[in-house]
Structure 1
């Protein structure tokens, strides 16, 4: 035992001596190199990394290896690997994004040609809340050079892109740059080569192959046509609450058949599952200039069958829609199927699906295998009715949330990148895959789904039992009989009231606390911070309850009315619930939207002069809506309530809820109107009509929905004893 220890100690000592000797030789070698170093001067240019898809120049890295040290060669190989396998932690400068997430678009060169599709992309970025015109504060850079179509045979192909990009002063090998692309490569290979060196830039690319896709760095986007709308877009074909009837066809497809080359295998075999009854798979060879030179024995029969069926009729009357690969992995059929509530059956092996980083496509599509084409009919027939309905509903959610317009596609791309940068504030998969979607759930508010009203039912959470009343005050206190003082007393008596906040937006200073009525709940006066109409929806830190009761200073509500409205809101926490209702209509003669306060059987807005809503909408209103809309509201001193209704309806795809009739609300306001009251202003309704159209223009569609629902207390107006009625004061009013 002792001998073994001695041998170990001797061995360790010998190893230590050898290490010291080697280190001495290394130091001597370095000193020799330093003594022969040439005089100081300009440093030679750094070796240019060889990037995937780039041409090797004569002075490229492979030749430089003959004259470089082993250490420099290792650095070159490291850069090669880095560019090919970029990730956020290796090819992105997070220091640029410490202050905020801002996107800078390079100014276009004089006479620069830009396609209609790329113009829509740039417009979407320009209207986003992240746009900056100062490159010094930019986190992300976007090219003004059109890179969407890199097919050299396309009329939209832009030459000399490589030289123009390399000449950009901030290019820096593509670091912190985002490059959009729809088409890459050309006939006959259709590779993913863009014709220029992307370097360390992120790619937002359609039809991307999983082998070339850099996970959590690139973004896969859908292939969209030049007719795809800039904003808004058409709604999906499936209504929100209707159970869809069984469709005529089980599986359909109508498209080109490629006789040779890439993409021909799957489409040339579709005739095997076409039965002419519930499986309608139609292809045509009749495309291209020389199709007749290559046509096979089935072409004439296929072309005949092809013209017998209308594509739109097939699309909207089938349960499943086949989406096979074309020349490229992606296809226009993908978005067409989503919009039509036709469940996509994807046959495109190796395709990185659009926004797959955040979207769970198993909830909206059937992902097949091109090699198992003959199994597709049995697979679709095995899906039960409940699963079909769930899949179709999810197609509509995804279409409306992320794909119905170019703006939504671009904003989704930016939000995915933003989540990567600010990982501590990134959205969960639930937020991306459930209503209202990632674009409407701002993580700056919270990353906890239970704090958003949309997920209460899904997560089994009930709203809080209390509310905060927020009263907009614009008139000075001159009499103890003023409506605002009566309103404070009535609201404070509610057993659900946690606190009252008065937004003092009057030019005169707020009165001392002794002038306000004594109430059993905390009363806070906020003055001088937000003297604007939009300021009434600012997310003040003092508001801690889920529910906010928004009130005008001259609102007339009883305690019973407040209590009943709050009870109703707790059943519909994602909506606006309140008393004064208004409606919109389409004026065909003037080709514009109109606003009306007439009492009818329908309404589409509940004004925030007396309404409950979730406090998250304060945050969304302030931080999501563009400054130009908020500035318009402030300049007019009007329409902030309409804008809030637009926002909530756009998010929820639902109408607000009116409680009880409250007919005297309008009459009381008119009686109390004065020269300073906006209700007495003859231009009031004209301004509100203009607001409606400006808001609809920004959203790209009309989000307001009509409703005929009105909720009254149980036994309201029934011929029973008043003592049996819980909210008996409402009937007396």
Structure 2
């Protein structure tokens, strides 16, 4: 019996081998060539999405249409980018709109096009920024003047004949080193993500509503979908000013928006009514949109429209703990930025959406992921979130909104900074810098010292005094400059004194200066902004900025330094000023009158952090620095703008001193610009110019004044540390 089984097994094996041989021979004779591309795929295209989505990675099933030679899927920085163009500096060139440089004004060329309002904002923030260069030979990146934001061919902003226009660009070079901004791609009914209507070549896509399958890691940039009226600069701050108790608002989860009866994106929104309970979960939709909604409406339209009209969108937004952000026709939607600003924690229902700037932003700290296919699990997910996590998520929404999304300028600059960090030799910010306040855009990675907001690192216990001398007055033992330097030598915290001699006359020789126990350096450097240059001589974090005619005692200097060490991210000093809105003139006003609040502490007698010198020289818009140099004025106001913009904190005034300068000089001596009648008018003009360039008014008011302990208390002077301060008149 066993022998029969063995013979049967051998026979079957021989038959199988013969079949394989004859079958393979037949295939070869038929000339069939195996091509893996012809085989159908049963693999979910989002099986590898988890690494991009973090621990809450989700997938979306369905057919996936590969791009049809529109986007080069194999592009990487190493293969589609010329690093040599960025070897000297990171500059961005914007093609001129006239078309003359592009070679488009010849015979048969298309007429130049006017970009949409949104794209014009993109171009404006670039050309007014520190990135811009008018010289294409110095450019690392190139940005088109052709409006590519809206590539829906049914849109009024759709630009035709883009392929032919691109071929006429002098520096196109197959798209290498170009950045293409896009918000909408494809059109009804498919809204194909890859359908831009032209070949992007080797260009980097800065695109909204990108899916993980089409996103090229390390090359493309996913940007948010923003309204055409999104602020160009500045932008409104987040709506959450404090973390209020109780932690949960009136509604736990809310959504109000339109739904699509049919077509792509309709399945998710059409099912939301299953979760709506009219108590703590409010999810209302309407199909009442479009020209033919009545012909296309389904059985639920009338009921949904009634529920939709019962709730106000703004009230829902501000009174909900979490807000649902379902996909629309495309993966991204305007709702995402709206809920971020409102501090309503986003609950995302958009499977495989590559979130904006996900290369650097840790979205797991700001959003909740849900799965479109598991819609009924959403209530259980949102009810399981702890109050502690809600606090953290809400706070992070405000940080991200304020630092990266509140204006088109921030969106564009974030795009550029991500690309910059990919270049060889460029310093890279870590995740902590990107995901904490004040954010990466105001954090210079090449700075080697301690940042002002890094409270974990101890600050220096001494300071560098920087005296700005522009009058060129003779240096005598009775002159204000001589007495000021002498007062600085008596402070035990003075590390060095640097005199910025901004007058055309030569500075006095060192033998004329008082004898000092600390180094004295005299730098002959004309220019109004010279006082804020990051001089290599300065080695301390703390800088005491002084005008040459400032009058301060050693006790006042020491006390102000003690206060600054507790608030290193602020300007701490003596002379206070204020700004106000003038309704009659429709502009900002500047006043030196003493009131109950202030918003500016002049740097004629103030402490600030050395890092702000680097921001002032390397980060500010060239338009701001040009305004200061042309007016020979307002550099102290600009420094206050800068510090308040970065930290969102007001300055701090110390003690009661009001007059911090010497009395006006007599006739025949150098005259201070503060006594010029046009000086005040110039400063008011500067205030409005700065606000226009920043896009908003960053100055913040404060009514706080810090005095020493036991200040003017009826106790013995022996118990007081800063005894001379009380002797100073106001």
Q: Output the TM-score relative to the length of structure 1.
A: 0.86
1:409-460 deviations in Å (ceiling 9; x for gaps): 11111111111115541222111111111111122334xxx62112x22xx2
What residue ranges of structure 2 are gaps of 5+ in the alignment?
1-68, 100-110
Q: Is the 8 A contact 1:657 1:709 kept in 2?
A: yes
Q: Of the candidates 531, 538, 547, which is equivalent to residue 536 of structure 1?
A: 531
Q: State the alpha-carbon separation in 1 of the partners of residues 256 and 690 from structure 2.
A: 39
- Alignment RMSD: 1.8
> Are the equivalent residues in 2 in contact too, given 1:82–1:91 (CA < 8 A)?
no
Which whole-Å deviations, capped at 9, do the CAs of 1:564-601 have from their partners, x for residues lacking one? 11111111111111111111111111111111111111
- Greater helix percent: which structure? 1
Distance in 2 (CA, whole Å) between partners of 1:487 and 1:602 is 28
Residues 510-534 of structure 1 show CA distances to partners (whole Å, capped at 9, x for unaligned) of: 121111111110111111xx31111
Q: 2:144 is matched with which residue? A: 143
1:94 to 83, 89, 92: 83
Corresponding residue number in structure 1 for 2:603:
608
Q: Does 1:500 align with 2:489?
A: no
Distance 2:415 2:244 in 1: 31
User: Match for 1:211 among 207, 210, 213?
Assistant: 213
Question: 1:305 — aligned with what?
Answer: 307
Query: 1: CA distance between counterparts of 2:333 and 2:666?
Result: 62
Deviation at 1:115, TM superposition (A): 0.9
* Among candidates 458, 466, 482, match of residue 485 of structure 1: 482
CA distance in 1, matches of 2:286, 2:70: 44
Alpha-carbon distance in 1 for matches of 2:684, 2:203:
46
Counterparts of 1:613 and 1:703, CA distance in 2:
17
Q: 1:240 to 1:680 in 2, by over 3 A?
A: farther
Structure 1 stretch displaced more, 602-611 or 360-369: 360-369
Q: What's the CA shift for 1:95?
A: 0.4
What's 2:33 paired with? none
SS of alignment partner, residue 390 of structure 1: helix
Cα deviation for residue 242 of structure 1 reads: 6.6
Partner of 2:37: none
Q: Aligned partners of 2:463, 2:166: CA distance in 1, in Å?
A: 55
**Partner in structure 2 of residue 321 of structure 1:** 323
Among 80, 87, 105, the alignment partner of 2:94 is 105
The partner residue of 2:198 within 196, 199, 215 is 196
- Consecutive aligned runs of 4 or more in structure 1 exceeding 6 Å deviation: 241-245, 671-675
Deviation for aligned residue 1:386: 2.8
Residue number in structure 2 paired with 1:162: 163
Where 1:451 maps in the other structure, the secondary structure is: coil
3-state SS in 1 of match to 2:467 = strand
Q: Which has the higher contact order (CA 8 A, sep 6+)?
A: 2
Q: Tell me, in whole angstroms, the C-alpha distance in 2 between the residues paired with 1:478 and 1:519.
A: 15
Q: Report what 1:547 is aligned to.
A: 542
Out of 689, 707, 714, the position equivalent to 1:712 is: 707
Equivalent in the alignment of 2:469: 473
Tell me which residue corresponds to 1:617.
Answer: 612
1:660-718 superposed Cα distances (whole Å, 9 cap, x missing partner): 1112326x445789772122111121111111100000000000000011111111111
- Shift of residue 258 of structure 1? 1.2
Structure 2 CA distance for aligned equivalents of residues 286 and 408 of structure 1: 35
Q: Name the CA distance, whole Å, in 2 between partners of 1:230 and 1:387.
A: 33
SS at match of 1:247: coil
Asked if residue 381 in structure 1 is aligned to residue 383 in structure 2, the reply is yes
Aligned 8 A contact 1:476 1:506 in 2: no
Distance 1:244 1:644, change over 3 A: farther
Please report how far the alpha carbon of residue 385 of structure 1 lies from its aligned counterpart in structure 2 after TM superposition: 2.5
Contact 1:238 1:244 in 2 (8 A): no
Alignment of 1:275-674 (within 5 A): 275-446=277-448, 451-454=450-453, 456-457=454-455, 460-474=456-470, 475-527=472-524, 530-665=525-660, 668-670=662-664
Listed as ranges, the matches of 1:17-166 within 5 Å are 83-108=72-97, 109=99, 110-166=111-167
Pick closer, same or farther for the CA change 1:440–1:128 going to 2, 3 Å: same
Taking structure 2 as the reference length, the TM-score comes to 0.86
Is the contact made by 2:543 and 2:610 (CA closer than 8 Å) also made in structure 1?
yes
